[in-house]
Amino acid sequence: MTANIHGPAWALEGLGVRSGRYPLAVEGPVMRAVDRLVPGVSTVTRYIRYHSMYAAIAAHAGQNAWDIAACRQSVRRSEVLLAALQHHDGPDPAWLAHGVDRMRRFCVAELELARAADEEHLSQSYSPRRWGFWDQYGGPAMILGTVDVRDGALRPGRHVCPPAVKNLFAPLLSLAARDVVSFTDLETAGQAALGVPCPAEREWLTDVLTATRDGGAHVPEDWEASDRTRRATLRILARAIDLHGHEGDGYQETLRSAVAFGEEATTDPVLAAIPETAGWRGALLRHYSVGAWRRLWAALVAGVGSKDGEADRSAEDLRDWLAQQTPDADVRQVLDGLPPLKSSAGQLLPAERQLLAQGTDAPMTDVLLLMVGALRSREGHLPGDVRAVFLGRQRHWAEFLDPTWVDGLINDYIDRSARDLAARLVDDMLAQSRRVALAKLRTDPATGGLKIFSRLHLRNERYFKTGDEGDSDIGTRIPQLGFLAEQLGLFAAVDNCRTVTAEGRRILETNP
């Protein structure tokens, strides 16, 4: 007798597919280091004005005992008003308010505030997130101490919002109680718009960000560990700007020039005295390897077709893809052709920068960067405190695709063809992507089935994709920190050159 067995009726047949983030899981060491070294700043917290606004809302919420619903409504409506102020005054590319693009359609004859901030139909509002852009600023604000959250409602933090800053937002919070706001009434809140200076805000948030009081005095015992670490990073960045800001690079590359390479990290009297300098050297050097893996993986996936097309690929096809872009030489010869990693005096040389400058977007450049990272991981190449951050291990042994893993492959393949090593790197990436995807496997409550978070999938021994992978570098938060410091008058940017203001040097104590 033949029986047909059908799966459970409450679950849809098949495996649900979702796009996953960090498909090779190589970003962790840098992200953990950055999280520790730049507390209270994120890659999406761009403006000090939002920190002030949320603090003012929290002060108002505490004074009036607002519950979660009232806080959320005030946050959403205030964010719409801030975006509407910029839209009404004319867009300024230097001050791009969050949500301004989605908010424009609610500004015709007047601002339809209730519709723009609607919580029932989020997809049709200025933001699809229930708490709007507070979701981005909330974590940093609580670390900074400008806002606290109690039972889900916003309340004043350990650094209480000053009366002058509350007054700055009083007209805006008054308008937030309305469902419709005329453009004439909107102008009454104009002082709260992005880019409009407020000395009280600047003084208050300068103290918070730099861990100072009484006009710039820093007393370590008065501040939490996260405050002292953030101040240390600001001091390192400020000193890097003093040394290299004239070179025309952005904040991140300016920091790298002073800290990652050369002797200044250990000989400059300011940088050498700050323990966090070693952490930044390790994080910025590891950042090169992380970026190389991300670009290499994105390039591999880009050459794979969808499941409905004709460009699906076998593992052998993908091995050949990278091997064919690799020189016809053995691994030892490739290593000999790398730029020098150290000077005769033992100082780190910018081999990674040289490879990126002389190379193209070709995947082989990224393979060479991985090899440089492997060599830097060896005992004795980096000081112990730098090496600990560079490796960023959560365990005591090599982790998948970390620099010591690549170094092990180099040792295994040292006298073999570099093309064999390239093929092995492809195999390791494919295996790691599968491990990461399976580790993220979850039950989908909407279907009762399983869903897997990946863009590359295997069917009948052939790979197909459901989308391309991102190849951008992960954030270090240094550009955001630099821009926040600009808004506070600590740094200045003119003609692509960065400088530290006299006030910045005094507060951050960067004069040697």
Examine the domain organization and report whether 294 and 393 are in the same domain: yes
Are 366 and 443 in the same domain? yes
Nearest Cα residue to 75 out of 149, 145, 143 = 149
Domain shared by 291 and 329, yes or no? yes
According to DSSP, the residues that pair with 417 across neighbouring strands are 330
Residues 240 and 281 in one domain: no
pLDDT value at residue 310: 76
Q: What is the pLDDT of residue 456?
A: 87
Nearest in space to 291 (alpha carbons), one of 377, 353, 236: 353
Q: What is the pLDDT of residues 361-401, one digit of tens each?
A: 689 999 999 999 999 999 999 999 999 999 998 766 678 99
Give the model confidence (pLDDT) of 191-230 as tens digits.
999 999 999 999 999 999 999 998 889 999 999 999 999 9
pLDDT on residue 14: 47
Domain containing 115 equals: 48-193
Residues 285 and 311 in one domain: yes
441 and 357, same domain (yes or no): yes
Predicted confidence at residue 90, as pLDDT, reads 64
Amino acid identity, position 334: V
Say if CB 459 and CB 307 are below 8 A apart.
yes
Label the pairing between strands 491-494 and 497-500: antiparallel
Partners of 181 in beta bridges: 111
- Residues 280 and 266: beta-carbon distance below 8 Å: no
DSSP string, 386-443: HHHHHH--SSSS--TTSHHHHHHHHHHHTTSBHHHHHHHHHHHHHHHHHHHHHHT-EE
Report CA-CA distances (Å) from 459 to 133, 307, 322, 326, 456. Answer: 40, 9, 21, 28, 10
Residue 42 in any domain: the answer is: no
Tokens 């000077």 sit at which residue? 343
Q: Cα(371)–Cα(333) distance, rounded to whole angstroms?
A: 12
The sheet with strand 16-18 has its strands ordered as: 16-18, 450-453, 442-443
Rounded CA separation 169/95 (Å): 18
Residue 35 lies in a domain: no
pTM of the predicted protein model: 0.92
Pair (433, 290) in one structural domain: yes
Please identify which residue in the block is written with the tokens 């030892």: 332
* Domain containing residue 490: CATH number: 1.10.10
Write down which residue in 140, 159, 193 finishes a domain: 193
Same structural domain, 432 and 395:
yes
Return the pLDDT at 19: 61
CB 190, CB 167: distance < 8 Å: no
**Phi, psi at 463, each rounded to 5°:** -95, 140
pLDDT at 11 (0 to 100)? 41
Instruction: For 18-35, give one letter per residue: b (16+ CB within 10 A) or e.
Output: eebebbbbbbebbbebbe
Q: Is residue 84 part of a domain?
A: yes
Identify whether 503 is part of a domain.
yes
Q: Tokens 């889900």, residue? A: 152
Could you tell me if residue 40 is inside a domain? no
**Whether 373 and 394 share a structural domain:** yes
Are 412 and 291 within one domain? yes
Question: For the chain, what is the domain count?
Answer: 3
Asked if residue 203 belongs to a domain, the reply is no
Considering the domain architecture, whether residues 232 and 178 belong to the same structural domain is answered as no
Residue 499 buriedness (CB in 10 A; 0-12 / 13-18 / 19+) = middle
pLDDT score at 7: 52
Counted residue by residue, the chain has a size of 512
One-letter amino acid for residue 112 of the chain: E
356, two tokens? 């990126």
SS3 302: helix
pLDDT of res. 445: 72
* Residue 455 domain flag: yes
Supply the DSSP symbol for 341.
S
In the chain, % helix, strand, coil (3-state, to 5) comes to 55, 10, 40
Same domain membership, residue 449 and residue 339? yes
**Residuewise pLDDT in 10s, the chain (512 residues):** 565 655 554 444 445 555 668 899 999 999 999 999 999 999 999 999 999 999 999 999 999 999 999 999 999 999 999 999 988 766 667 788 999 999 999 999 999 999 999 999 999 999 999 999 999 999 999 999 999 999 999 999 999 999 999 999 999 999 999 999 999 999 999 999 999 999 999 999 999 999 999 888 999 999 999 999 999 999 999 999 999 999 999 999 999 999 999 999 999 999 999 999 999 999 999 999 999 999 999 999 999 988 777 788 999 999 999 999 999 999 999 999 999 999 999 999 999 999 999 876 689 999 999 999 999 999 999 999 999 999 998 766 678 999 999 999 999 999 999 999 999 999 999 999 999 988 887 777 766 667 777 888 888 889 989 889 999 999 999 999 999 999 999 999 998 899 999 999 999 999 98
Classify residue 147: in a domain, yes or no: yes
Distances in Å between the alpha carbon of 136 and those of 50, 132, 133?
10, 8, 5
